[in-house]
Structure 1
């Protein structure tokens, strides 16, 4: 079995496009051929899961091209065309594939509002035809158009947020594809979309955990090969935004429909539990109890680079600087401040203005006098989400201003775990407050540091209150933007190949 592994991965915020511009080709990390295998094997990523499944399943692995950029504004058409052309050339180089395993996000947007994922799948199908089995993994926060489920034979999304199950879900998608090749399964994929927007909701607690467990229980039913509830990505103002339920069965469309309807009915009935009340920055900082033994870990959720946030929002940092509570903060995206620290050198005192360079949502720039404690290259190996995968924050500086240690970074990147703090000699457990640029992924990486975890909300490109963002039709009529929106009684799962 000749199995091609490839992907173009991007989570695109149309609101970020308006602030930071479109995402260009230079923003993508691209790996081809054996370099793809070397980069991703033995990592908790989708590509890593695909590689593992091919090896375990006795398939001949053909690594084509994998491109990924950090979440940001919509991808420029030129960048998409360049990357897509390279990917298609790699797929078409050699004998025909028996199967293709694609790593996609599901909320990729080609500027201004086309689905990157649907467009890529359409071109792949045009190249290879209908014969090869095409399996796709997607993020829990995907906004997949209906066309995706006509083009792909198997679609499996993450069930966990934090996304600690990337490799596991990729293995499931690959196993179904390989079973289809061996004649052991005939996958049928069905999709049901709900007119609702959900704020980012971690699956380790509350209603989101119950929904996750329900989807897992569905996969234990005879004949169900994969089941995913896509929470959707509310920061993409496109016609594809919203919640979707997707079930893959073994030649049983009626069973897939029943599973989708059952999950959709539960989610609609419990929808109000997903809203909650956002915690303000002031409330979060005020919850700290110095001397309690374990720190309070606060996520700067409204400025999460992992959702397209600018990474230089100052609302939470300003609140920390206004207190005398021992705190550490990682990371503030400010290449200029890093350069100033490098020029001054370790041990020097510098006067710098930090962050706040992308409009009112990001807060005001903060003038501080700080001591340069450390300078690093910002390179780490992730230990929770995407475990084993290398990452770089670019050149970084540790600055101490008052009672706050601040890691300032040259690259905009979410904080998943304590590694970037440790790289700068910061022991998080020694602080009363540990603040990180993240929404919920930090919950996995910092669980060993403390069981006191809070996501703070403020103005920002990834504010939890999705009602504060403008939306165009048809999404502007979705719940909770329209609190009176009723469950669509005639909602039926479309028939897909």
Structure 2
């Protein structure tokens, strides 16, 4: 067997002012054929798992390029077309192949392309023809379009949010592909539109129980190969925005459709109950100060670079400063210019510095302080499950009993190693202020005395009922109360 694999991924917040070009991919991951490291990134696990599988089976794995950019705004048209065409040219050169196994995110939007992944998959199908297996792993915060479904044999989607299972789901993807290539099964995909958009953290009920049910059904139900929830990505203004269920069966589309609809309507009935309670910055600081011990993690949930925002909002930090709170560590505030200034000043320097709140309205005001530059780290990385997430050149500054990490590559706060790699022991601080919606939970919950979810400012379009969409359909909940009417 000859199998082609490649990856092209980012998550696009169409409301974000931060444009994406080739440099953004190079800053996060751009690996030419054979250059992908042994450790996978969030959307490239099909490549690293594929190496193991094909070595075991004695098959030939032809690797194409792998590209990942941290979430932001629209991808430049020329950048998408260059990266897409690079993979397509590699596929043409690899022909004939028996299968194409891709790592995608599913929420990319490029200038002139509402559905880049659908465009890529359709072109892949045109190259390989109707009989070659085409499949991909997707992030649940994606858009499942009719064009993608028509082009692929099947998708497997991360089940967990936080996405701690991206390697496990890549193994599921390859397991189904191997069985299909050996003629043991014929995977077919059924999709149900839940007619809603919501946020579904699996770190709490009711989504925890729902996902556990999916795992149980996959194990117990004959002929049911995979169940997935496409959560949707509410910051992506695209025509097919929304939550959907995917059921992959062994050549039984009727059974798959029935399972997908039953589960989809069950999910719809729980709409609006999934997210944890969020408080404003004043209540968040009150709660942290009242806690008997630390560290108390304040999660700035909507200034989340993982959702395409800048990660430079200062609303919560300003509240802490105004109230004279100390014993605080902040990770991170994105400000490449401030990082450059600190790098030039050097460790131990005391300098006046303005940082933060440069990217967009409703993110607070820049902070002006006399700061001490404590530590400089080039090409800093933190852990994220089995992978590493870069946050660029980074600086630890301190002032008035508060430590702040400034970073040059946007990244959400995945793991406490964000602090320790900079020389800050996170468990020694009373308050940790981080920027993430839910990916932080798996690791930070292990050290946190308490977690406070804070909705501060308006860096992210987090209320679909009032978000000024121009392309997204308005026939789903919560845009309408009853989309089934």
Tell me the matched-pair count: 480
Mean CA deviation greater in 190-199 or 236-245? 190-199
Deviation, 1:257, is 0.8
Cα distance change on mapping 1:433 and 1:62 into 2, 3 Å? same
Tell me which residue corresponds to 1:203. 202
What is aligned with 1:327?
328
1:342 aligns with 2:339: no
Matches within 5 A, 1:374-453: 374-380=375-381, 382-384=383-385, 387-389=386-388, 391-453=389-451
Match among 24, 31, 40 for residue 21 of structure 2:
24
Alignment of 1:182-261 (within 5 A): 182-199=182-199, 201-220=200-219, 221-261=221-261
Matches within 5 A, 1:344-363: 344-363=345-364
- Rounded to whole Å, the distance in 1 between the matches of 2:384 and 2:160 is 16
Three-state SS of the structure 1 residue aligned to 2:362 is helix
Write out aligned runs for 1:149-188 (5 A).
149-188=149-188
Select between 283-292 and 115-124 the one with higher mean Cα deviation.
Answer: 283-292
Shift of 1:98: 0.8
| Counterpart in the other structure of 1:73 | 73
Partner of 2:475: 477
Which whole-Å CA distance do the structure 2 matches of 1:397 and 1:228 have between them? 40
Instruction: Report if aligned partners of 2:189, 2:248 keep a CA contact under 8 Å in 1.
Output: yes
Task: Mark the runs of 5 or more structure 2 residues left unpaired by the alignment.
Answer: none
Q: Supply the distance in 1 between the matched residues of 2:41 and 2:74 (Cα, whole angstroms).
A: 29
- Whether contact under 8 Å (1:218, 1:259) holds in the other structure is no
Distance 1:363 1:210, change over 3 A: same
- 1:302-351 Cα distance to aligned partner (Å, 9 max, x none): 11111101111111221222232311001111112112212222222111
Cα displacement (A) at 1:60: 2.0
Q: Secondary structure at the match of 1:476?
A: coil
Residue 46 of structure 1 and its aligned partner are, at CA, apart by 4.2
> TM-score, normalization: structure 1?
0.92
Secondary structure class of the residue paired with 1:394 = strand
Q: Hey, what's the Cα distance between the residues in 2 that align with 1:456 and 1:56?
A: 47
Report the alpha carbon displacement of residue 359 of structure 1 after superposing the two structures with TM.
Answer: 2.6
Q: Which among 452, 456, 459 is matched to residue 454 of structure 2? A: 456
Q: CA deviation at 1:184?
A: 0.4
Q: Separation in 1 of the partners of 2:134 and 2:146?
A: 16
Give 1:71 deviation, angstroms: 0.6
Give the drift of 1:104: 0.7
Structure 1: runs of 5+ lacking an equivalent? 489-497
Larger mean CA deviation between 30-39 and 177-186 belongs to 30-39
SS in 2 for 1:397: strand
Aligned to 2:48: 48
Shift of 1:473: 5.4
Provide the C-alpha distance between the structure 1 equivalents of 2:275 and 2:433, rounded to a whole number of angstroms: 23
- Tell me the SS of whatever aligns to 1:35: coil
For 1:492, the equivalent position in structure 2 comes to none
CA distance in 2, matches of 1:169, 1:451: 31
Alignment CA distance shift 1:451-1:171 (3 Å): farther
CA deviation map 1:242-275 (0-9, x unaligned): 0010010001111101110111111111113135
In the TM superposition, what is the alpha-carbon distance from 1:296 to its structure 2 partner?
0.9
Matched residue of 2:340: which SS? helix
Write out per-residue CA displacement over residues 145-184 of structure 1, whole angstroms, 9 at most, x where no aligned residue. 0121111112110100010100111111111111111000
